[in-house]
A and B are shown apart, each in its own frame.
Chain A
Amino acid sequence: MGSKKIISGIFRNQIFIPIAALVILALFNLAADPSFFKISFGYNSVGNPVLSGYLITILDYGSELAILAIGMTFVTAASGGQDISVGAAIAIAGSVMLRVLCGHNSRPEVLQAPIIVAFLVGCIVAMLFGAFNGVLVAYFRIQPMVATLILYTAGRSIAAWINNNELPIISQPSFGYFGGFIPGVPIPTPFFIAVACMIVTFLVLKFTTLGLYTQSVGINESSSRLNGLSPTFIKFLSFVLLGLCVAVAGLIKVSRLSTINYSVIAKDIEMDAILAVALGGNALSGGKFNMASSILGAYVIQFLTTTLYKFNVQSDALPAYKAIVVIILVVMSAPAVREKLSSISNKFKNKETKGVSM
Chain B
Amino acid sequence: MKKKLFSAALILALAVGAVGCGGGAADANAPDADATETEAPSGDLIKVGIINNDPNESGYRTANDADMKAMFTAENGYDAQFAYSLKNDEQIAAAQKFIQDDVDYLLLSAADTAGWDSVLQDAQNAGIQVILFDRTIDADESLYAASIVSDMDAEGQKAVDWLAEQGLDEYNIIHIQGVMGSAAQQGRTGALDAKVEENDNWNIVTQQTAEWNAEKAQQIVQSVIDAGTPFNVIYAENDDMAKGAVAALDAKGITHGVDGDVIIMGFDTNKWALEELQAGNWNYDGQCNPFQASYIDEVIKTLEAGETPEEKVIIMDEKGFDAASITQEDVDQYGI
Contact A310 B227 (CB under 8 A): yes
State A263–B167 Cα separation when bound (angstroms). 38
Contact A315 B227 (CB under 8 A): no
Contact A167 B272 (CB under 8 A): yes
Q: Does A333 contact B (CB under 8 A)?
A: no
State A160–B65 Cα separation when bound (angstroms). 15
Q: Which of the candidate stretches B109-117, B202-210, B305-313 sits at the interface with the other chain? A: B202-210
Q: Does B247 contact A (CB under 8 A)?
A: yes
Q: Does A306 contact B (CB under 8 A)?
A: yes
Pick from B56, B209, B270: contact of A316, CB under 8 Å? B209
Q: Does B240 contact A (CB under 8 A)?
A: yes
For B252, the chain A residues whose CB sits under 8 A away are 42, 44, 50, 52
Contact B56 A263 (CB under 8 A): yes
Q: Does B212 contact A (CB under 8 A)?
A: yes
Assuming the A-B contacts A54-B226, A257-B244, A261-B240, are A314 and B253 also in contact, with contact meaning beta carbons closer than 8 angstroms in the complex? no
Q: Which of the candidate stretches B126-134, B217-225, B316-324 sits at the interface with the other chain? A: B217-225
For B227, the chain A residues whose CB sits under 8 A away are 35, 310
Q: Does A262 contact B (CB under 8 A)?
A: yes
Q: Does B59 contact A (CB under 8 A)?
A: yes
Contact B223 A57 (CB under 8 A): yes
Pick from B6, B59, B210, B255: contact of A140, CB under 8 Å? B6
Residue interface mask A24-58, B partner, CB < 8 A = 1: 00000000000100000011111100101110010
Q: Does B58 contact A (CB under 8 A)?
A: yes
Pick from B56, B210, B219, B222: contact of A160, CB under 8 Å? B56
Q: Does A180 contact B (CB under 8 A)?
A: yes
State A53–B251 Cα separation when bound (angstroms). 12
How distant is B121 from chain A, measured CB to nearest CB, in Å?
Answer: 33
How distant is A349 from chain B, measured CB to nearest CB, in Å?
Answer: 45
How distant is B83 from chain A, measured CB to nearest CB, in Å?
Answer: 16
How distant is B85 from chain A, measured CB to nearest CB, in Å?
Answer: 12
Contact A45 B62 (CB under 8 A): no
- In the A-B complex, the 9 residue pairs with the smallest Cβ-Cβ separation, listed nearest first, are A309-B223, A264-B213, A160-B56, A45-B250, A44-B253, A43-B253, A54-B226, A315-B208, A45-B253
Q: Does B280 contact A (CB under 8 A)?
A: no
For B212, the chain A residues whose CB sits under 8 A away are 264
How distant is A58 from chain B, measured CB to nearest CB, in Å?
Answer: 10
Instruction: Report the interface size for chain A: residues with CB under 8 A from the other chain.
Output: 43
Contact B211 A44 (CB under 8 A): no
B interface with A by C-beta (< 8 Å): 6, 55-59, 62, 180, 206, 208-216, 218-220, 222-223, 225-228, 240, 243-244, 247, 249-255, 270, 272
How distant is B256 from chain A, measured CB to nearest CB, in Å?
Answer: 9
- Besides A47-B253, A253-B215, A259-B214, 4 more A-B contacts (Cβ < 8 Å) are A43-B253, A46-B250, A181-B251, A305-B219
How distant is A235 from chain B, measured CB to nearest CB, in Å?
Answer: 16
Pick from B55, B59, B219, B244: contact of A167, CB under 8 Å? B59
Residue interface mask A49-83, B partner, CB < 8 A = 1: 01011100100010000000000000000000000
Contact A256 B247 (CB under 8 A): yes
State A35–B227 Cα separation when bound (angstroms). 8
Residue among B57, B212, B215, B243 having the largest count of chain A Cβ atoms under 10 Å: B215
For A169, the chain B residues whose CB sits under 8 A away are 272
Contact B222 A57 (CB under 8 A): yes
Q: Does A219 contact B (CB under 8 A)?
A: no
How distant is A36 from chain B, measured CB to nearest CB, in Å?
Answer: 8
How distant is A90 from chain B, measured CB to nearest CB, in Å?
Answer: 11
State A315–B212 Cα separation when bound (angstroms). 12
8 A Cβ contacts from A147-169 to B: 156-157, 160, 165, 167, 169
A interface with B by C-beta (< 8 Å): 35, 42-47, 50, 52-54, 57, 61, 107, 140-141, 156-157, 160, 165, 167, 169, 180-181, 253, 256-257, 259, 261-267, 305-306, 309-310, 312, 314-316
Pick from B213, B218, B226, B228: contact of A261, CB under 8 Å? B213
State A116–B254 Cα separation when bound (angstroms). 31
Contact B56 A45 (CB under 8 A): no
Complex A-B: 18 CB contacts under 8 Å = A44-B253, A140-B6, A160-B56, A167-B59, A167-B270, A181-B251, A256-B215, A259-B243, A261-B214, A262-B56, A263-B58, A264-B212, A267-B211, A306-B219, A310-B227, A315-B210, A316-B180, A316-B209
For A264, the chain B residues whose CB sits under 8 A away are 211-215, 240
State A156–B55 Cα separation when bound (angstroms). 12
State A133–B255 Cα separation when bound (angstroms). 46
Assuming the A-B contacts A45-B254, A257-B243, are A52 and B226 also in contact, with contact meaning beta carbons closer than 8 angstroms in the complex? yes
How distant is A276 from chain B, measured CB to nearest CB, in Å?
Answer: 17
Closest to A52 in B: B252
Assuming the A-B contacts A156-B56, A312-B206, are A44 and B243 also in contact, with contact meaning beta carbons closer than 8 angstroms in the complex? no
State A215–B198 Cα separation when bound (angstroms). 63
Contact B223 A310 (CB under 8 A): yes
How distant is A308 from chain B, measured CB to nearest CB, in Å?
Answer: 9
Closest to B247 in A: A257
State A268–B225 Cα separation when bound (angstroms). 25
Contact B228 A35 (CB under 8 A): yes
